[in-house]
Amino acid sequence: NVESSIPEPQRDAWKKHTKKGFTTKDEFEDETVRHIETTLARSLFNCDELAAYSGTALAFRDRLIVEWNKTQQRQTFADQKRVYYLSLEFLMGRALDNAMLNVGLKDVAKDGLKDLGFRIEDVISQEHDAALGNGGLGRLAACFLDSLATMNYPAWGYALRYRYGIFKQQIIDGYQVEIPDYWLDFNPWEFPRHDVTVEIQFYGWVRKYQGENGKTKASWEGGEIVEAVAYDAPIPGYKTATTNNLRLWSSKAASGEFDFQKFNNGEYESSVGDQQRAETISAVLYPNDNLDRGKELRLKQQYFWCAASLYDIVRRFKKSEKAWSAFPDMVAIQLNDTHPTLAIVELQRILIDIEALEWDEAWTIVTNTFGYTNHTVMPEALEKWSVPLMQNLLPRHLQIIYDINMNFLQMVERKFPKDREMLSRVSIIEESQPKMVRMAYLATIGSHKVNGVAELHSDLIRTTVFRDFVSIYGPDKFTNVTNGITPRRWLHQANPRLSELIASKLGGYEFLTDLTLLNKLEQFADDKEFKKEWQEIKYANKVRLAQHIGNTTGISVNPKALFDIQVKRIHEYKRQQLNILGVIHRYLTIKAMSPEERKKLAPRVSIFGGKAAPGYWMAKTVIHLVCSVGEVVNHDKDIGDLLKVIYIEDYNVSKAEIITPASDISEHISTAGTEASGTSNMKFVLNGGLIIGTCDGANIEITREIGESNIFLFGNLAEDVEDLRHAHTYGNSFTLDPDLSRVFTAIRSGTFGDAARFNALCNSIVDHGDYYLVSDDFSSYVKTQELVDEAYKDQEEWVAKCIQSVSRMGFFSSDRCIQEYADMIWNVEPLVPQ
β pairing state of 130-132 and 90-93 = antiparallel
Whether 679 is a known active-site residue: answer: yes
Tell me if 197 sits within 8 A of 166, measured CB to CB. Answer: no
Tell me if 647 sits within 8 A of 780, measured CB to CB. Answer: no
Classify residue 503 as left (phi > 0), alpha (psi -120 to 50) or beta. Answer: alpha
Amino acid at 151: M
Q: Is 439 in the site for ligand T68 (CB under 6 A)?
A: no
**Which residue, 96 or 140, has its beta carbon nearer to ligand T68?**
140
Residues 6+ apart with CB under 8 A from 346: 303, 306, 307, 310, 397
Output the smallest distance, CB 140 to ligand T68, in A: 4
Q: Which stretch binds ligand T68 (CB under 6 A): 374-382, 498-506, 589-597, 659-667?
A: 374-382
Question: What's 489's DSSP letter?
Answer: I
Q: Is 284 in the site for ligand T68 (CB under 6 A)?
A: no
Question: What's 182's DSSP letter?
Answer: B
Whether 655 is a known active-site residue: answer: no
Q: Is 575 in the site for ligand T68 (CB under 6 A)?
A: no
- From candidates 97, 274, 289, 701, binder to ligand T68 by CB under 6 A: 289
Q: Is 661 in the site for ligand T68 (CB under 6 A)?
A: no
Output the smallest distance, CB 655 to ligand T68, in A: 17
Q: What per-residue string of b and e applies to 488-519 under the rule 16 or more CB within 10 Å gives b?
A: bbbbbbbbeebbebbeeebeebebbbebebbe
Output the smallest distance, CB 656 to ligand T68, in A: 14
Give which of 73, 32, 42 is closest to 834, Cα–Cα. Answer: 73
Output the smallest distance, CB 735 to ligand T68, in A: 32
Residues 6+ apart with CB under 8 A from 338: 372, 374, 382, 383, 439, 440, 442, 443
Give which of 497, 620, 648, 476 is closest to 177, Cα–Cα. Answer: 620
**Which residue, 289 or 533, has its beta carbon nearer to ligand T68?**
289
Q: Which stretch binds ligand T68 (CB under 6 A): 287-295, 323-331, 638-646, 686-694?
A: 287-295
Residues 6+ apart with CB under 8 A from 780: 714, 715, 716
- From candidates 169, 482, 628, 677, binder to ligand T68 by CB under 6 A: 677
**Which residue, 147 or 483, has its beta carbon nearer to ligand T68?**
483
Whether 364 is a known active-site residue: answer: no
Output the smallest distance, CB 385 to ligand T68, in A: 13
Q: Is 682 in the site for ligand T68 (CB under 6 A)?
A: no
Burial of 111 (0-12, 13-18, 19+ CB in 10 A): middle
Tell me how many degrees the CA angle 731-732-738 measures, rounded to the nearest 5. 95
Number of residues that bind ligand T68 (CB under 6 A): 19
Q: Which of 94, 375, 575, 604 is catalytic?
A: 375
* Residue 480 bridge partners (DSSP): 452
Is the peptide bond prior to 434 cis by the omega test (within 30 degrees of 0)?
A: yes
Strand segments, DSSP code E, in 342-463 are: 370-373, 384-386, 429-430, 436-438, 449-452
**Which residue, 290 or 486, has its beta carbon nearer to ligand T68?**
290
**Which residue, 381 or 515, has its beta carbon nearer to ligand T68?**
381
Q: Is 381 in the site for ligand T68 (CB under 6 A)?
A: yes
Give which of 75, 64, 132 is closest to 101, Cα–Cα. Answer: 64
Output the smallest distance, CB 133 to ligand T68, in A: 7
**Which residue, 381 or 625, has its beta carbon nearer to ligand T68?**
381
Q: Which stretch binds ligand T68 (CB under 6 A): 261-269, 285-293, 355-363, 593-601?
A: 285-293
Give which of 390, 316, 311 is closest to 351, Cα–Cα. Answer: 311
Q: Is 342 in the site for ligand T68 (CB under 6 A)?
A: no
| Pairwise CA distance, residues 574 & 591, whole Å | 28
**Which residue, 673 or 678, has its beta carbon nearer to ligand T68?**
678
- From candidates 328, 697, 715, 810, binder to ligand T68 by CB under 6 A: 697
Output the smallest distance, CB 139 to ligand T68, in A: 7
**Per-residue x/- mask for ligand T68, residues 516 to 545, rule CB under 6 A?**
------------------------------
| Pairwise CA distance, residues 204 & 185, whole Å | 36
Q: Which of 81, 538, 604, 683 is catalytic?
A: 683
Give which of 483, 474, 419, 471 is closest to 449, Cα–Cα. Answer: 474
Q: Is 137 in the site for ligand T68 (CB under 6 A)?
A: yes
Tell me if 224 sits within 8 A of 275, measured CB to CB. Answer: no
Q: Is 91 in the site for ligand T68 (CB under 6 A)?
A: no
H/E stretch holding 392 reads helix 387-393
Residues 6+ apart with CB under 8 A from 811: 482, 484, 515, 516, 701, 705
Tell me if 126 sits within 8 A of 53, measured CB to CB. Answer: yes
Q: Is 611 in the site for ligand T68 (CB under 6 A)?
A: no
Give which of 260, 274, 339 is closest to 301, Cα–Cα. Answer: 339
Output the smallest distance, CB 245 to ligand T68, in A: 23
Give 411's Cβ-side CA count (13 Å radius): 13
- From candidates 64, 140, 155, 515, binder to ligand T68 by CB under 6 A: 140
Output the smallest distance, CB 147 to ligand T68, in A: 14
Q: Which of 457, 568, 571, 586 is catalytic?
A: 568
- From candidates 290, 486, 660, 784, binder to ligand T68 by CB under 6 A: 290
- From candidates 145, 494, 676, 791, binder to ligand T68 by CB under 6 A: 676
The CB density around residue 309, as the number of other CB atoms within 10 Å, is 26
Output the smallest distance, CB 193 to ligand T68, in A: 27
Q: Is 135 in the site for ligand T68 (CB under 6 A)?
A: yes
- From candidates 74, 300, 375, 683, binder to ligand T68 by CB under 6 A: 375
Tell me if 652 sits within 8 A of 463, measured CB to CB. Answer: no
Output the smallest distance, CB 700 to ligand T68, in A: 13
Q: Which of 449, 569, 571, 801 is catalytic?
A: 569
Question: What's 49's DSSP letter?
Answer: H
Q: What per-residue string of b and e applies to 687-696 under the rule 16 or more CB within 10 Å gives b?
A: bbbbbbbbbb
Q: Which of 35, 42, 574, 604 is catalytic?
A: 574
Give the CB-nearest residue to ligand T68. 136
Q: Is 443 in the site for ligand T68 (CB under 6 A)?
A: no
Q: Which of 71, 482, 486, 679 is catalytic?
A: 679
Q: Is 134 in the site for ligand T68 (CB under 6 A)?
A: yes
Helix (H, G, I), strand (E, B) or coil at 772: coil
Phi and psi at 650, nearest 5°, equal 55, 55
Q: Which stretch binds ligand T68 (CB under 6 A): 43-51, 129-137, 362-370, 776-784?
A: 129-137
Phi and psi at 619, nearest 5°, equal -65, -40
Output the smallest distance, CB 480 to ligand T68, in A: 12
Q: Is 483 in the site for ligand T68 (CB under 6 A)?
A: yes
Q: Is 347 in the site for ligand T68 (CB under 6 A)?
A: no
Q: Is 813 in the site for ligand T68 (CB under 6 A)?
A: no
Whether 568 is a known active-site residue: answer: yes
Amino acid at 368: N
| Pairwise CA distance, residues 453 & 290, whole Å | 15
Q: Which stretch binds ligand T68 (CB under 6 A): 204-212, 545-553, 677-685, 820-828?
A: 677-685
Output the smallest distance, CB 617 to ligand T68, in A: 18
Q: Is 136 in the site for ligand T68 (CB under 6 A)?
A: yes
Give which of 129, 136, 169 is closest to 626, Cα–Cα. Answer: 169
Q: Which stretch binds ligand T68 (CB under 6 A): 237-245, 529-537, 676-684, 711-719?
A: 676-684
Q: Which stretch binds ligand T68 (CB under 6 A): 130-138, 215-223, 364-372, 406-414?
A: 130-138
- From candidates 31, 312, 564, 675, binder to ligand T68 by CB under 6 A: 675
Using CB under 6 A, list all residues that contact ligand T68.
134-137, 140, 288-290, 375-376, 381, 453, 483, 675-679, 697
Q: Which residues are catalytic?
A: 375, 568-569, 574, 679, 683
